Amino acid sequence: MNIIPMPAILTENEGKFHFTDQIAISSNPEAKSIALWAQKFLQKSSGFPLPIENTVKEDSEENYITFLLVSNSANIKPEGYKLRIEPSRILIQAIDLAGLFYGFQTLRQLLPKEIEQNEPKNDIKWKIPCVLIEDSPRFSWRGFMLDVGRHFQPIAQIKKMLDQMALFKMNRFHFHLTEDQGWRIQINKYPKLTEIGSKRNDTKIGGWLSKQYRGQPHEGFYTQDEIQEIVGYAKERFIEVIPEIELPGHSRAALAAYPHLGCLGTQMEVPSKFGIFHDIYCAGKEETFSFLQNVFDELLNLFPYTYVHIGGDETPKKRWKSCPHCQQRIVEKNLDDEKDLQTYFVNRMFNYLTSKGKKVIGWNEILHPNLNPEAVGQWWIGGKKKIISHLRQGRKIIVSKLTQVYLDYNYVMTPLRKTYALEPIPSGLESKYHSNILGVEAPLWTEWVPNNTRFEWQVFPRIIAVAETAWTQKENKNFQSFMTRLTAIYQRLSLMGIKPATIKNVNPKGIKRFLKMPSIGKWPLV
Ligand code: ACM
Ligand code: ZN
């Protein structure tokens, strides 16, 4: 059975369910939204009428696909489901709507691949193998991050990605909305953020070693209505959207719009090249904090979820070292140094956001003995030693290790097998702390991702490996099996209009890998 992610328990039984125009859908009233979802999805490719009944009759009812939201007592875990396919009927049970939704995604993968087509074709025999599946996720955080700062990404591409995330049971979309090279969200109180900060004159192309530029301006931002449209689309797919406003670094676009928020206060452009910039928000000026708080006030109205991301990575301290405001803050607050000033900065934002009922995430550079223990760390770089000590103190961590799940590298640097091999729980961590690992998230940074073709080549198939790592129990993971299932699923991706990297190129080995190493800087399509 070509199911990804691999379910926890799968029993194959005799026989097939025949999905025909005689089939109907039933659900209890609580599960109606999922019944409607299934109806719409299945009608599109089969053309069958699929009437819905909002009562569930006897357990043995024939010719129905039934969705049942049951109470806690049913021995099913959150987001988990039980899927029973018999020759005469299909039953999906869960204790939450997400579980029913995921049960349906599994059913979808058991149907012939043409179920992904956009219109009915007559000649398909829709047979589904009889199985009993009991399934639930290993981790509650199964994420994908998209950087829309370096290259603005159209809403259609984001929705296409959210569709894929749903198919593979991923549930967190981390929306990296601000960068040095572009501010991408409308903030009514600060119109220059988008009037100035969402535009740049040019863009470096060809990779880190190149000196070439595209020779064209680049711009784009999402209105608040568009943000709500994306959040709504994700919600229908049980995906929470986590907004990120980068601070104090990666903030050149904001400083181009409002230069007084920097230490120097001088006018500067939205940069056309990539990297780490010295100009960051001034930690000594009160205006910086009132600005960021006002930005978050508008933002929090658009994202109805608990988690908010405040960045915190790659923050050079050069400007803070020579800024009278920042130095005065260090003295006033009795801080050790500029590193401690960053913790002050992060804690202050943390306190503000916590007062609004939010939980805060930051990249692992924010981890510091004085950081509030409730702040969640996103582990992208550095060894496990420090991370383990934080986990032992009770801190929650999301795993995004650069060497394995960063989707912006090519397949020479990060072959699919290396991504698949990620084990999120660091070895040496005692089992009582394992639950402090919330899960896994794969970022796509878009310095060199100017279009959909490149986007899909970078993301697929590695994101599918990440989805399996995040969902499937460790002992049920197997790379050989994954490759077989993946090869089958490629036909579906094609029907969905996704163009992944070719299977034969995603696991370069030995000499071929080394021969291609020198071209890493050019990011070749291997
Ligand atoms: C990062 O990649 N700078 C979080
Ligand atoms: Zn300053």
Residue nearest to atom 1 of ligand 1 (CA): 313
| Atom in ligand 1 nearest the alpha carbon of residue 406 | 2
Q: Is the dihedral of CA 409, 439, 236, 145 positive or negative?
A: negative
CA distance 292 to 245: 9
CA distance 319 to 59: 69
Q: Which residues contact 133 (CB under 8 A, 6 or more apart)?
A: 7, 9, 10, 11, 81, 82, 83, 84, 103, 106
Give the tokens for residue 519: 């071209």
Ligand at shortest distance from the CA of 321: 2
State CA 400 to chain mean position distance.
10
CA distance 518 to 373: 42
218 - beta bridge partners? Answer: 200
| Atom in ligand 1 nearest the alpha carbon of residue 311 | 4
Residue nearest to atom 3 of ligand 1 (CA): 313
Beta strands per DSSP E along 266-306: none
Residue nearest to atom 2 of ligand 1 (CA): 380
Q: Looking at the domain that runs over 141-354+361-515, which CATH code has it been given? A: 3.20.20.80
State CA 478 to chain mean position distance.
23
Angle between helices 452-459 and 462-471 (to 10 degrees): 40
CA distance 146 to 165: 12
Return the domain boundaries, the chain: 9-135, 141-354+361-515
Q: How many CB atoms lie within 10 A of CB 212?
A: 10
Burial of 24 (C-beta count, 10 Å sphere; 0-12/13-18/19+): middle
Give the tokens for residue 327: 């130095």
Q: Which residues line ligand 1 (CB under 6 A)?
A: 313-314, 363, 380
Query: Contact, 439 vs 424, CB < 8 A?
Result: yes
CA distance 119 to 345: 53
Strand 81-85 versus strand 218-219 pairing type: unpaired
Q: Which residues contact 517 (CB under 8 A, 6 or more apart)?
A: 412
Q: Omega before 120 cis (within 30°)?
A: no
The answer as to CATH 1.25.40.80 being correct for domain 9-135 is no
Query: Contact, 380 vs 443, CB < 8 A?
Result: yes
For each of the chain's 526 residues, which pLDDT tens digit applies? 999 999 999 999 999 999 999 999 999 999 999 999 999 999 999 999 999 998 776 565 789 999 999 987 778 999 999 999 999 999 999 999 999 999 999 999 999 999 999 999 878 999 999 999 999 999 999 999 999 999 999 999 999 999 999 999 999 999 999 999 999 999 999 999 999 999 999 999 988 888 999 999 999 999 999 999 999 999 999 999 999 999 999 999 999 999 999 999 999 999 999 999 999 999 999 999 999 999 999 999 999 999 999 999 999 999 999 999 999 999 999 999 999 999 999 999 999 999 999 999 999 999 988 888 899 999 999 999 999 999 999 999 999 999 999 999 989 889 999 999 999 999 999 999 999 999 999 999 999 999 999 999 999 999 999 999 999 999 999 999 999 999 999 999 999 999 999 999 999 987 666 555 544 444 444 3
d(CA 168, ligand 1 centre) in Å: 25
| Atom in ligand 1 nearest the alpha carbon of residue 250 | 3
Q: What is the DSSP string of 124-164?
A: ---EEEEEEEEE--S-SEEEEEEE-SSS---HHHHHHHHHH
Least Cα distance to 57 among 35, 17, 88, 26 occurs for 26
Q: Residue ranges of the alpha helices (H) in 356-451?
A: 384-392, 402-405, 416-420
Angle between helices 479-495 and 462-471 (to 10 degrees): 120
Ligand at shortest distance from the CA of 401: 1
d(CA 379, ligand 2 centre) in Å: 27
| Atom in ligand 1 nearest the alpha carbon of residue 443 | 2
Q: What is the pLDDT of residue 342?
A: 95
CA distance 148 to 227: 13
* Helix, strand, or coil (residue 204): strand
The DSSP symbol for 375 reads S
